Structure 1
């Protein structure tokens, strides 16, 4: 019921829905007075939520919300009726397609929006005639998906959050779940540790996850392969491998064993900047466990060798037989609430809904039977490739609920590239940094104003339910996208849905992993993919008898170290980035939350005491951080929590805009950028007032989903 204490004229009500922040998928609902409360749900069974979830409604009724369409006129935005704004979009995109072809348009899907909305967007792109559709999974876990898909046949969590409790060892590589996925950490990982599981944490800095760890390996950024090869070498050397599993479920062991025999554990540990005995301790904890689970995050994936990093991780699981059983597996934790689902439903340039390749003629034919038009056969551009070609092959962009002008690496150059487009339309809640470059901005719907489904980090498809009506003339995203589908394509009937449920029904006919699911079946709970329509149940643990490739075996891989793209000159530090508890991604949500802003304090650059002393920097001093891509300014947090030679900052706010410094070298397989290793100079700022260079002002930066 509406809260009589509300000062807004908008109507609010309480309905269980899914938190809009990380990929854990906690259930929340409106609690009155502009706040959210946790409710018992599939993931947060006790109704717990983290500080981000508690502040989730701050953005919904925020005074900065867009409530009317904006169109560019004479270099400034003016409000316009919906009919005029949509006509402008239709003519702008239509002219680009007519002159340059459909491949001149890039579609940015949204990992923060529903499955149904993303399904309609990617369908729009493909019916128009292009596979140029991507989402910010490209910036976080594309390399994880690439490696796991190649070896296992599926790029998602092999296991579930629930069965982590059965693990005897949890090997956390390049992730900080205590701050980035707090409910998953406190409700699933920490109880396992308290029950006796050994927690190994691989991360270049100490953080809240490290506090619970038994073993910490503070590697140098960019040395995952050296470290993981050393762990694998110890497993083989000390007979900690599962010979039966290797014989029955793997291929290539002899070749890998020969390669690992040449790995000098001490030298590899030295290259990674860690103690050799600690490497052996970690290897024994993992290899001696009856059930060992790997948890991985963007510290592993956001490198130009991210795919190889994950291949090295997969070797550990295969060598020890830790695949296909509860309490084991390789488990990437997803960043945003629907980064899994946006990819599941086809929001990627190389796959159709359900991860079937666009190059597969049978998959295209099945989609054509449903849509009445066959999708293109050639993979499209990733979003990073596309922004590099703005003004050349790419002449227009449709940006849905994303902020690529700041979330991509080398952000200043990307923001400038948006001005080279012939036309850009943005669908969002606020005037983001990307929206500043648009020709038309359409006011969409917040998470609490929509229905549909999202898919969480362990493959659970859950229902979203509205808790608020729309502000002003804003429209629901689903309605905006279906209207664009009717206006931009020559098949308007393909976008005549009765609502999100109708689109979901179509999705279940197009994506094999969702076949048999339904809104009624999900109800207040969930259905997990891959779903067995005949049995009416999902699959909790993947790869138990066969891998998702259809094969009984998976290959072991020889992985050689790859140097980072940025070389360190004398006196430079390695800059690495990440999230902390009170921040979230590009800041379009978190920077407009009064409660999160109150928590954030001042964004800082963590620097080791030895590095600070060498540069004459004291705790709290203003410092400049620079390289050839830009310059930003921050306050120094002098702390031994970050290893010597490394500096750390968040990527959430305009000061410091970390992505003004990050490079755009790409992983050759996944096309993911190298966010976690940038060579920078750090020195005292010229003035206490602060003079930021390439960072500029406005919205925040993000390096992931």
Structure 2
């Protein structure tokens, strides 16, 4: 940092979705937590939070606009850079129509920035706007939206303290959301609650678990259905809740009854006795809750099965219950809440609803388009074809699950690429214009944490050089490209946001203050809603439907080992939040049996390869990873990650003259 941040001013940690309050301590030259804060009530911070101000090397910051001339990015004035953007975007819209543009936003940005970003796209005439948050939790959130009416956590973090059983599936909150885990989950377990961990890899969360189920990847849904089968067979169904609040239980029960428990357990590689014991604990608990993460995002089946389990046992609409998605990045929930999605306007409202579009038009002065846009993956696939221009805000699509070489070719084939970021990335290397943006500590606004609390970030230091805060840049673009009013004052933008987002309707900047307000926050309410779906689901209906279990598919016959990843993909990417900066283990964790079959021993150098790419790493033999799987930190695994479940081949690395094997 070029100068020391302001001492003592409260803001929100940008390092994950938990939303801890912090301040800069000039004496210690690091972040400090704030006692009595909305989330980190005792003022605790995890190691990431303590280093929140050390996310950038000052020498790497972008400090002036860059415009490409004769193949090279060269410094330019803001006027010249914005002139170039204006001419390019207007030309693309004139020649190809607004749907030839793509807008890729970032969960690191504030609510006000993401709201203005999606507004800009829609005023220009396209719903081609998306953010990585949707992709990270698409399966779970889509299932929750369809059946419950919203994809946010059904309960607050504080509610979790009332749980008797925690079923943690595809998530490692002890490592990834440590303040939330240590403040709300661990105390409940220490006080007698049971934690069950479902994950193919033992990790920090497993250490607190009474039971660990390690299914073969791709079989989580079948294991959850086995839990439901036991609950049905042993009369542990909450008959009153099922009768009053659900529909379709007969078809669901019939689909589960058609499965052979022994065969399912064998396919999944789990012990049926343990599964049945877990089911009894879940079914007999007064309050049981599910915590999930990106580990269930291998398709919709696992999320649907978990919702079935909760409906069957009546574990929705009460404290200590529910489906609680532990998101990763700091404003993942907020980016979706404010409409940075191709199919939904602010507040989760469908773009296809004419009444919603009319209400939004009453605020914007122009009606947003009615046809849903393309999601991020389809937009990236369309670079250079149907998509002729792109605006990338604090994101790095050049490092993507679609394959880096393929995306690089697409980026190069665009007629025009605008990138707004704080440092150079793999994506800025392809840009026609690069605009220097502000880091989290250099701007104000609001962010929404994983349990739906909206909090205020505050400016703690100035941006370096000619870098500008993101909101002022977005306003400048809106003023140049449209006839609609845009603003760059966060409070005024928030006031506009709450008029079009019914879930935020009763919130105010002053009301949030140094605390928080949680959605849904109806206009005129004294406080937000901690527990969703008490009397009715957010669909507006009293009942939610069961989804029959699909036929079991044995996906374990493909060649290679299943690649498991942890951490957050793209942590090495500089964005408007900053680099993760944490030390991480780049070794390949592999079961000793699989290592032996691959001709490897602990400490060997290994080549890990698939159709997406190749890396070389060091082998670490451990039984914490089940047979048939290997584990890499997401940053190391980036070149290998592809669409869907990723498998890899592992073999001894070739020695070279300058580096003998195992040297």
CA 409–234 in structure 1, closer or farther in 2 if over 3 Å, else same: farther
Partner of 2:594: 611
Instruction: Identify the match of residue 501 of structure 1 among 491, 500, 513.
Output: 491
| Counterparts of 2:357 and 2:574, CA distance in 1 | 36
| Counterparts of 2:657 and 2:627, CA distance in 1 | 28
Please list the CA deviations of residues 91-130 of structure 1 after superposition, one character each: whole Å capped at 9, or x if unmatched.
1222111111110111011101100000000000000000
Partner of 2:142: 146
| Counterparts of 1:451 and 1:590, CA distance in 2 | 13
User: How much does 1:565 deviate?
Assistant: 8.3
User: How much does 1:298 deviate?
Assistant: 0.4
Please list the CA deviations of residues 473-524 of structure 1 after superposition, one character each: whole Å capped at 9, or x if unmatched.
1100110111111112233xx11x2501000000010010010210111011
Contact 1:147 1:308 in 2 (8 A): no
Aligned alpha-carbon RMSD (Å): 2.0
CA 200–590 in structure 1, closer or farther in 2 if over 3 Å, else same: farther
Contact 2:267 2:554 in 1 (8 A): no
Instruction: Identify the match of residue 204 of structure 2 among 208, 211, 230.
Output: 208
Contact 1:108 1:397 in 2 (8 A): yes
Contact 2:168 2:197 in 1 (8 A): yes
**Between 266-275 and 523-532, the greater mean CA deviation after superposition:** 266-275
Partner of 1:573: 561
SS in 1 for 2:413: coil
Residues 1:557 and 2:547 are matched in the alignment: yes
Residues 1:322 and 2:318 are matched in the alignment: no
Residues 1:661 and 2:640 are matched in the alignment: yes
User: How much does 1:14 deviate?
Assistant: 3.1
Partner of 2:606: 623
Partner of 2:406: 413
Please list the CA deviations of residues 598-630 of structure 1 after superposition, one character each: whole Å capped at 9, or x if unmatched.
x33x51111111111112212222211111222
Q: Which runs of structure 2 are paired with 1:417-496 in the superposition (5 Å)? A: 417-491=410-484, 494-495=485-486
Residues 1:98 and 2:97 are matched in the alignment: no
User: How much does 1:218 deviate?
Assistant: 0.6
Contact 2:156 2:531 in 1 (8 A): yes
| Counterparts of 2:628 and 2:488, CA distance in 1 | 57
| Counterparts of 1:13 and 1:442, CA distance in 2 | 29
Q: Which runs of structure 2 are paired with 1:51-70 in the superposition (5 Å)? A: 51-60=47-56, 62-70=58-66
| Counterparts of 2:556 and 2:94, CA distance in 1 | 41
Contact 1:204 1:217 in 2 (8 A): yes
Instruction: Identify the match of residue 336 of structure 1 among 329, 335, 343.
Output: 329
Partner of 1:694: none
**Between 629-638 and 9-18, the greater mean CA deviation after superposition:** 9-18
Partner of 2:616: 633
Contact 2:171 2:291 in 1 (8 A): yes
| Counterparts of 2:255 and 2:348, CA distance in 1 | 33
User: How much does 1:660 deviate?
Assistant: 2.6
CA 47–613 in structure 1, closer or farther in 2 if over 3 Å, else same: same
| Counterparts of 2:99 and 2:151, CA distance in 1 | 27
**Between 629-638 and 216-225, the greater mean CA deviation after superposition:** 629-638
CA 567–483 in structure 1, closer or farther in 2 if over 3 Å, else same: farther
SS in 2 for 1:532: coil
User: How much does 1:560 deviate?
Assistant: 1.1
| Counterparts of 2:444 and 2:356, CA distance in 1 | 29
SS in 2 for 1:404: coil
User: How much does 1:584 deviate?
Assistant: 7.2
Contact 2:108 2:577 in 1 (8 A): no
Please list the CA deviations of residues 318-345 of structure 1 after superposition, one character each: whole Å capped at 9, or x if unmatched.
0000000000000001111100000000
User: How much does 1:559 deviate?
Assistant: 2.5
Contact 1:225 1:560 in 2 (8 A): no
Runs (5+) with no aligned partner, structure 2: none
**TM-score normalised by L of structure 1:** 0.90
| Counterparts of 2:530 and 2:321, CA distance in 1 | 12
| Counterparts of 2:82 and 2:199, CA distance in 1 | 47
User: How much does 1:11 deviate?
Assistant: 5.6
User: How much does 1:647 deviate?
Assistant: 0.6
Contact 2:425 2:573 in 1 (8 A): no
Partner of 1:135: 131
Partner of 1:699: none
Contact 2:399 2:570 in 1 (8 A): no
SS in 2 for 1:147: helix
Residues 1:8 and 2:2 are matched in the alignment: yes
Partner of 1:526: 516
Please list the CA deviations of residues 267-303 of structure 1 after superposition, one character each: whole Å capped at 9, or x if unmatched.
11111111111111211121111000000110012x1
| Counterparts of 1:504 and 1:684, CA distance in 2 | 55
Please list the CA deviations of residues 149-201 of structure 1 after superposition, one character each: whole Å capped at 9, or x if unmatched.
11111111000100100000000010000011010111111111101110010
Please list the CA deviations of residues 525-560 of structure 1 after superposition, one character each: whole Å capped at 9, or x if unmatched.
000000022222101100000111111110011121
User: How much does 1:225 deviate?
Assistant: 1.6
Runs (5+) with no aligned partner, structure 1: 1-6, 665-673, 692-705
| Counterparts of 1:689 and 1:679, CA distance in 2 | 30
Partner of 2:537: 547
User: How much does 1:402 deviate?
Assistant: 1.0
Partner of 2:240: 244
SS in 2 for 1:57: coil
Partner of 1:39: 34
Residues 1:255 and 2:255 are matched in the alignment: no
Contact 1:163 1:326 in 2 (8 A): yes
| Counterparts of 2:557 and 2:120, CA distance in 1 | 42
Please list the CA deviations of residues 406-443 of structure 1 after superposition, one character each: whole Å capped at 9, or x if unmatched.
14342332233211111111111110111111111111
| Counterparts of 1:167 and 1:352, CA distance in 2 | 34
| Counterparts of 1:611 and 1:535, CA distance in 2 | 58
Please list the CA deviations of residues 64-106 of structure 1 after superposition, one character each: whole Å capped at 9, or x if unmatched.
1111111122222211111111111111222111111110111
CA 690–336 in structure 1, closer or farther in 2 if over 3 Å, else same: farther
**Between 398-407 and 332-341, the greater mean CA deviation after superposition:** 398-407
SS in 1 for 2:347: coil
Partner of 1:698: none
| Counterparts of 2:331 and 2:378, CA distance in 1 | 23
SS in 2 for 1:131: coil
Q: Which runs of structure 2 are paired with 1:22-37 in the superposition (5 Å)? A: 22-32=16-26, 34-37=29-32
User: How much does 1:586 deviate?
Assistant: 4.6
| Counterparts of 2:370 and 2:364, CA distance in 1 | 15
Contact 1:60 1:448 in 2 (8 A): no
Partner of 2:574: 588
**TM-score normalised by L of structure 2:** 0.96
Contact 1:590 1:596 in 2 (8 A): no
**Between 628-637 and 322-331, the greater mean CA deviation after superposition:** 628-637
The total of aligned residue pairs comes to 657
User: How much does 1:13 deviate?
Assistant: 3.6
Partner of 1:686: 654
Q: Which runs of structure 2 are paired with 1:358-397 in the superposition (5 Å)? A: 358-397=351-390
| Counterparts of 1:11 and 1:643, CA distance in 2 | 46
| Counterparts of 2:570 and 2:398, CA distance in 1 | 16
| Counterparts of 2:182 and 2:141, CA distance in 1 | 26
SS in 1 for 2:318: coil
